[in-house]
Structure 1
């Protein structure tokens, strides 16, 4: 009876050790995959959300300025014709 308990104890220790090793390998693999994805995405030269929003605001300001200048030109042309 003692032999069977010892065998099961050893088997349980082996399985626990193997499970820990496999879990560690999975974490390491996931980490490596994330790093590769970051490198790949970084190489595509995507812009950050903050950069996109800044350029979007600059474009909106430029459009507003163009509209104001068009109105001013129209006004000047109107005065020049009189």
Structure 2
């Protein structure tokens, strides 16, 4: 009984190692998925600004800047700041 158990463990170990090796090879072969987000640049997050009309926060690169205010959309820029 001890010999059978030994061979079962050896065969299972060989199967696990073969699976790990084949997954590593497959991962190297396939190109990266284009739908995933690109990795973040070193340097951290982008500065967030607040819309003067609705108060939502958005990245500075997506905001509209006009009359010393930031806006989330052209419509809110036309409406002006909320009091």
More helix by share: 1
Q: TM-score range by the shorter chain?
A: 0.3 to 0.5
Higher relative contact order (CA 8 A, sep 6+): 2
Instruction: Looking at secondary structure, tell me which structure has more strand per residue.
Output: 2
Please report the TM-score for the alignment, with normalisation by the length of structure 2.
Answer: 0.41
